[in-house]
Structure formats: C-alpha cells, structure tokens
Amino acid sequence: MEKDIYILAIESSCDETAAAVMKNGREECSSVIYSQIELHKLYGGVVPEIASRKHIEKINPVIKEALKNADKKLSDIDAIAVTYGPGLVGALLVGVAEAKALAYAAGKPLVGVHHIEGHIAANYIENKDLEPPFICLVVSGGHTHLVKVLDYDSFEIIGRTRDDAAGEAFDKVARAIGLGYPGGPKIDRLSKEGNKFAIDFPRAKVDGNEFDFSFSGLKSAVLNYLNQSEMKGIEINRADVAASFQYAVIDVLTQHAITAVKESGLNKLAIAGGVASNTSLRENIEEACKKEGIEFYHPLPIYCTDNAAMIGAAGYYNYLKGVRHGLDLNAVPNLKIGER
C-alpha cells in the first residue's frame, strides 16, 4: 500500500486566517478558519492594513490548532502548502513568511498554491469521484471566471468578468440597500422574502467573447432604480430589489456556464468561490444541469468561502506533480492562473 501524504496548508490572502491538515488531497483531518469579518464590518469592506496585522496575530494559534485537531506534529507532515497569490500583498506575505519559516525549521518541502486553483480544488474534497477535465465556474469577491480544468495543474480561462466580480456586485448592491458587509449572504437571505420577477434588471451582453461577464451595468441599474424611486417618493421593497438583482446575476452565470459545458463536450460542471455558496445559484444551476443531463459538482458552502482545506487539496496535486518552491517564494498579488 502506498504511503499516505499529509499536507499542512495555510491561507491568508484576504480576511480569513486559515490552516488545515489534508490527507491524500481529498480527506480533511482538520480545518481551522479565523474570520476577520467582524473587524472589517465597521468599515464596509476589508481594510488591508488591519487584515495583515490580524493575520500576524492569529496565524500561529490557527496552525497550532489545525495540527492539534488532526492529531499531527509538524514532523508527521509531508509538505507545507501556502497561498502565494492572488490577493492582498500584506496579507499574503504573512502566510508565505510563516510557511517558509516552518518549511525551513522542519526541513519540509514548500508548495506555493494559486488561490483560485485552491477554490477549484475545493470540489475534490466533496466529490471523491471528480477528476479533470471539467468546466468550473469560479465566482468570488475578487474573481469571476469560467475555467476549463484540463488537469489538476492545467487550466484554460474561457471567460472572465470585464469589470466587477460577481461577489463585488453583491457587496456593492447590499451596501446600497443598507444591508452592510459582507453583502452576499445577506442578499441571499433577504431574497427569499422577495419576488425575483418584480424588477427587470438588465443582463449585460459583452462583445467579443460570449463567455465573458459584465456586472457594472447591472450595479448601476440597481443604483438608478433606488435613486429614481426615492425621487418619485416610491417606497422601496428591499427584498424585491435583492431578489431581482440576485436573479439577474444568477441567470447570466447559469446561462454562460451551461453553454460552456455544452460547447466543451465535457458534460461536467463544478462551481467554486464565495458566491458559489449562494443557495439560489446552486438551485438554479442544479436545475439547468438536470435539464441538460450535465453532472453538477459543488463544494459544501464552508469550502466555497476562503479556507485552507482547499489549499491543501490543490497543494497535494501540485506536490504529486513535483512542484517545489524555494525559500525565496514571494507573495504575488496578481498571480495568473496556471502560473508556477
């Protein structure tokens, strides 16, 4: 029997300080997430300097807890995986410096991981049978991509947003209707009380690539609707606005994803990123996949938002492919997908 591979994974690219121990890429031994959301709420968004300082404070206790919960010592670990981009540079640096120090002290290999490749790999934890190739819709606070996952370490971007990311649109519209930060989960909840057909918000068509997205026009349409209603003295039904906005986003995401799967001939669709935890998006895509006979894969909501288990899953496959980083590994805030 082959030896089990244990990866200690670290994630600190935005406002979650996270560590996990993963066995053979798909089995979670432990996963600890310290969310800084409460800290940033006051400012209506993530404040990079505050995020970095909190990461420094939390990173050691979070890693210690992850090792303890997995009943592992650093000496039991085969490699240390860490997110080194994309993300906030100061936040990324905390995780990268920590991973390098641990790798050096314990004499373990260091494996740098791309944050979005981590989000995609979250699907492997939930779905033990999922293997590339497949299409993945990546929808987070910073990214909206349609990705053809050719292999565990090979990706082709077939569509991307031209302006705002889907999560960013959720956050901005939530702020405009007074829901606060982070907006995604709040719009998700409030939408359940509203009518998604109440307001016909636009679905942006983008010239050039049928798989690209644009959400800034939709965001402006919501803001215009709110301003005009106020000027005319019409009372705003926030639940209807939330539901109609959410439906406009979901409709476009679903259509593009389904068309991409059909054109690729791959017949497998996965979703990833914070917005992939949206209940209506999951339902809508599930229904569309059923209709089209497409296999639909999705991570548990806790693996959709930022966590280290997904970094451990991606790190495991990078490790198997022989990816090793030196102690000169640096944070790369605009790291391209598939880059090593």
With contact defined as beta carbons under 8 Å apart, do 327 and 104 qualify?
yes
Closest separation in Å from C-beta 267 to Zn ion: 27
Q: Which is nearer to ligand KG4, 59 or 179 (CB)?
A: 179
Among 183, 194, 299, 312, binds ligand KG4 (CB under 6 A): 183
Q: How far out from the chain centre does Cα 285 lie?
A: 17
Taking CB under 6 A as the criterion, the residue among 188, 190, 214, 317 binding ligand KG4 is 188
The least CB distance from residue 250 to Zn ion, in Å, is 19
> 131 or 287: whose CB is closer to ligand KG4?
287
Tell me the residue length of the chain: 340
Do 179 and 171 meet the contact criterion of CB atoms below 8 Å apart?
Answer: no
Q: Is residue 140 close enough to count as binding Zn ion by CB under 5 A? A: yes
Stated as kind and residue range, the H or E segment containing 151 is strand 144-151
Calpha distance 248→228 (Å, rounded): 20
Q: Verify binding: residue 274, ligand KG4, rule CB under 6 A.
A: yes
Our CB check for ligand KG4 shows the closer of 100 and 114 to be 114
- Binds 112, which of ligand KG4, Zn ion, none (CB < 5 to 8 A, cut-off by type)? none
Residues 124-163 interacting with ligand KG4 (rule: CB under 6 A)? 140-142
Interaction between residue 275 and ligand KG4 (CB under 6 A): yes
User: Does the protein bind ligand KG4 through residue 118 (CB under 6 A)?
Assistant: no
User: What is the torsional sign of CA 319, 321, 327, 329?
Assistant: negative
Q: Which of 90, 185, 194, 315 binds ligand KG4 (CB under 6 A)?
A: 185
User: Does residue 306 interact with Zn ion by CB under 5 A?
Assistant: yes
Considering only 179-187, 223-231, 245-253, 302-310, which stretch makes contact with Zn ion by CB under 5 A? 302-310
Tell me which residue of 313, 238, 243 sits closest to 278, measured CA to CA. Answer: 243
φ/ψ of 41, rounded to 5, equals -50, -45
- Using the contact rule CB under 6 A, the part of the chain among 150-158, 199-207, 225-233, 275-283 near ligand KG4 is 275-283
Is 273 an interacting residue with respect to ligand KG4 (CB under 6 A)?
Answer: yes
Question: What's the Cα-to-Cα distance from 174 to each of 93, 122, 201, 304, rounded to whole Å?
Answer: 30, 27, 15, 20
Structure tokens given for 195: 């009518």
- Among 33-41, 73-81, 166-174, 231-239, which window interacts with ligand KG4 (CB under 6 A)? 166-174
Number of residues near Zn ion (by CB under 5 A) = 2
* 320/159 Cα distance (integer angstroms): 28
The Cα-based distances of 135 to 132, 145, 207, 280 in angstroms read: 9, 10, 22, 20
Q: Which of 52, 83, 277, 318 binds ligand KG4 (CB under 6 A)?
A: 277
**CB of residue 273 vs ligand KG4: minimum separation in angstroms?**
4
Query: Which residue in 32, 42, 103 sits closest to 69, CA to CA?
Result: 32
Q: Distance between CA atoms of 299 and 169, rounded to whole angstroms?
A: 22
Which residue, 338, 308, 2, 336, is CA-closest to 125? 308
- Distance from first CA to last CA of the chain, Å, rounded? 31
Could you list the residues that contact Zn ion (CB under 5 A)?
Answer: 140, 306
Residues lying near ligand KG4 in the complex (CB under 6 A) are found at 14, 140-142, 167, 170-171, 182-185, 188, 273-275, 277-278, 305-306
